[in-house]
Structure 1
Amino acid sequence: MTAWIGNNLLIDTVRITLPAGEPVFNDTTGEMDYPPGDVLYEGPGAVQGSSAQAEIVSTPTQNLPWVSETTSRYRLMTPLTAPIAGKDAIVTVVGVHDTARTALLGRSWIVTDPGRAGTVEVVRITPLDQIQAEVTP
């Protein structure tokens, strides 16, 4: 099963970086940017969105009485030999197997919890939340 998953699911290239500090305000974009950190892992992997609508949760910020953005549930799959990504690590897809599927390139996610563990494992699954970015037309 592990070989099948490696050959059929973990076919893109993902990079996991450790945060190098607190986010810094970017005057140009008006967004908070994370400083580049050390690369923990770069290799085969897959990022998948959840198909369950119940897993998309609205979260208010501390200063606003209304919801400002959603929590977008994704999951990262990596081989069991890959290091465990700790909470707040940044995941980026840096290569895709199909040139028609480039929508993931340049998007980033933050690890919400370390990789899940179980008694029977064939792939490491790590919960992610997409880092919200302004969409440009």
Structure 2
Amino acid sequence: MTGLDELLSSAVQWIGSNLLVDTVRITLPATGDPVYNPDTGQNEYPPGDVLYEGPGAVLGDAGQSRITVAPDAGQMWVGETTSHYRLLTPLAAPIAPKDAIVTVVAVHNTANLALLGRSWTCQDPGHASTVEVVRTTPLDQNRDARST
């Protein structure tokens, strides 16, 4: 399957050069109790372990306008919606586990800073398939200050 291998290799190179142009960080969620920070006057959670920091991209889903909500057992209706984002990372990057936190720490285009300061939670582990050119991980945008 030399032809297929060459095609996939070319696709991996193109994606790395043209799509994975921002710097993303994948961390495990913080554990433990918050610690008082006298400089800010706030209780802050310790940082989680960094699993990966390198080339990547966060993309909104093509069907982003759809809203998914589910009733909560204790309430008539949940107060937040599920957002549909995807994390793209090189195949050499570790597979992001469920509940890992993703942030964009640098953008390639300084005129577009909308990704900075946001965080996302991995909804499931990174996808795997027989034929891959990029790793895809489903994300949900965080709205809770603790997760950022």
TM-score over 0.5 for the pair:
yes
Q: Does 1:38 align with 2:49?
A: yes
What aligned pairs does 1:41-120 form with structure 2 within 5 A after superposition?
A: 41-53=52-64, 56-120=67-131
| 1:7 aligned partner | 17
Residue 43 (structure 1) shift = 0.3
Where structure 2 has 5 or more consecutive residues not aligned to the other structure, the ranges are: 1-10, 35-43
Give the match's secondary structure for 1:129.
strand
* C-alpha distance after superposition, 1:22-52 (max 9, x if no partner): 686xxxxxxxx76410100000000001121
Contact kept? 1:15, 1:92, Cα under 8 Å = yes
Structure in which a larger fraction of residues adopt helix: 2
TM-score, length-scaled by structure 1: 0.84
Amino acid at match of 1:5: I
- Work out the CA distance in 2 between the residues paired with 1:131 and 1:14: 15
For residues 67-102 of structure 1, give each alpha carbon's deviation from its aligned partner in whole angstroms, at most 9, with x where no partner exists. Answer: 301010110000000001101000000000001110
CA contact (8 A) 2:64 2:83 kept: no
Q: TM-score, normalised by structure 2?
A: 0.78
Preserved CA contact (<8 Å) 1:60 1:69: no
Structure 2 CA distance for aligned equivalents of residues 101 and 46 of structure 1: 13
Task: Count matched residues.
Answer: 127
SS of the residue aligned with 2:104? strand
Is 1:18 the counterpart of 2:41? The answer is: no
